[in-house]
Amino acid sequence: MQPKYHRIILKISGESLAGENSFGLESKTLEAIAHQVGSVAACGVQVAIVVGGGNIWRGIAGSARGMDRATSDYMGMLATTINALALRDALEQNGVDSRVMSAIEMRQIAEPYIRLRAIRHLEKGRVVIFAAGTGNPYFSTDTTAALRAAEIGAEVILMAKKVDGVYDSDPKTNPNAHRFDSLSYLDVLSKELNVMDSTAASLCRDNHIPLLVFDINEPGNIVRAVAGEHIGTYLGGESHD
């Protein structure tokens, strides 16, 4: 593989880690992701990963049921840490040197997030997994991906989902839903497309960080995304080429 990018953020939703299940972790999915990330890292690409926690707990869902929003969001951050540890284990078992860095201090299980230390890990060829979101309630892991991408100087955010791009409506309920090949962040904000929250989209737009939304369930798609192949939907206000 000839990579298009040198340093990337791979954003993996918690739901993706559940595989064919509706919740929890699926070992087959973890193994497939670890294998692809290992292939990418072996080509000299510096890989940082942001994981969601929706397969275990969603902060906004807890809040909707009457729980204090901040408490619910902190529980979601702990869910992302569980996913990060599981992903690190899968990577290590595939021979990929990796580190978990948490925005909330948990010294027994993860390093504290320090920007320069994260960059140093990447420069040494280690995969870095960012856990616990931004460490603050009211912010999504999409916003974490945008923030960390800006902090470490990532060239692109690869957003791995259970859908093969961005649509004008839900393709699960509308068979005539149209998939976009490319969009600007202004389109995402003005059309209120369900790609990422407005804070994350604004951060990406303001810092000129492109984003590729693609289907993680398609074998080999992470490698294809890093190689710059035309898969999914490209965001950034510029041509995919």
CATH code of the domain in which 127 resides: 3.40.1160.10
The answer to whether residue 199 sits within a structural domain is no
222 inside domain: yes
Residue 200, domain member (yes or no): no
Give a yes or no: residue 55 inside a domain: yes
Total count of domains within the chain: 1
In a domain, 190, yes or no: no
Using an 8 Å Cβ cutoff, are 19 and 28 in contact? Answer: yes
Give per-residue pLDDT as tens, 99-154. 999 999 999 999 999 999 999 999 999 999 999 999 999 999 999 999 999 999 99
**Which pLDDT tens digit goes with each residue over 173-194?**
888 888 999 999 888 888 888 7
Nearest to 130 by CA among 80, 55, 204, 195: 80
User: Quick check: is 209 in a domain?
Assistant: no
Q: Is residue 47 part of a domain?
A: yes
Give the closest residue to 16 by CA, choosing from 211, 127, 163. 163
pTM here is 0.92
What residue has token string 């702990």? Answer: 78
Please give the residue range of the domain that contains residue 84: 7-174+214-235
